[in-house]
Amino acid sequence: MSDFTLQEYRKIIKHHKHRVCDFYDSLKKDQWTILRHDVEFVPNRAFELAKIEKFYGVSASYVFQVRSNAYNTFSARNKHLIKNLRILGAKIGLHVYVGDVWDWRSLEKEIQSQRRIFEDGLEMHCDRFSFHRPPSWVLENRADFIGGMLNMYGPSFFEYDPEPTDIKYIADSRHQWNYGDPYTNHSKIQLSMHVDEWSDKETNHWDNIKEEHMEEFINTLSTECTHYQ
């Protein structure tokens, strides 16, 4: 089972590389692996994963939040990161926060609101999204496309069943593989691997994330306060 190092990530990508395709392309195939990265805490880690994917000739979808308390998608640093991800061949999408909506009409309105913020802030078209921690009622009423965007939890990409038979969903949430082995050979696989989980730092995972945030905050403080000296 994975130790969440970049070396292990290379092994996983190498295992699947012959069948990796984009969400849109999977609609025309009988066998595939789709790579999806939800960015939850530390966007800068995405670049290392994208370089590995570029080396093996595959690409993944990286989805960013516009309502995150952990990072600002539209900071100069993160906009530069997203630009470089696209240069490496990555697809960029929206990670939709749905924690404060309770019905389908409100959900569709919220998706469109977050899409407008995303497109205006990044100055780019958004053609795909994934939900952030979707409640069961969202997963029970799904479509492949909502509001003109591809839904990564659509029925063609995600099987909402405790024992899926057609599409296997593999995720590394909370630094664990709770939904199966990433080296599985199922005919259709969506591999959801959060960029925050992967690094070559040997100390505690969550401490590393906190240290990276603190380092960025201190650098920002230093830069912003320089002119007062």
- Model confidence over 19-43: pLDDT tens digits? 999 999 999 999 999 999 999 999 9
Distance between CA 138 and CA 101 in Å, rounded? 10
The mean pLDDT of the chain is: 92
Helix (H, G, I), strand (E, B) or coil at 42: coil
Distance between CA 169 and CA 34 in Å, rounded? 10
* pTM score above 0.85: yes
Q: What dihedral do alpha carbons 149, 129, 178, 159 form, nearest 10°?
A: -10
Q: For residue 123, what are the contacts with CB-CB under 8 A and spacing of at least 6?
A: none
Amino acid of residue 3: D
Distance between CA 182 and CA 192 in Å, rounded? 10
- Residue 140: its pLDDT value, please? 86
Distance between CA 96 and CA 133 in Å, rounded? 9
* Residue at token pair 């699947």: 16
- Residue 2: its pLDDT value, please? 61
Binned at pLDDT 50, 70 and 90, residue 99 comes out as: confident
Distance between CA 71 and CA 196 in Å, rounded? 12
Query: Mind listing the pLDDT tens digit for each residue in 118-165?
Result: 999 999 999 999 999 999 999 988 899 998 999 999 999 999 988 899
Beta-sheet strands, E only, within the chain:
32-38, 61-64, 91-97, 128-132, 145-146, 149-151, 168-171, 188-192
Distance between CA 25 and CA 21 in Å, rounded? 6
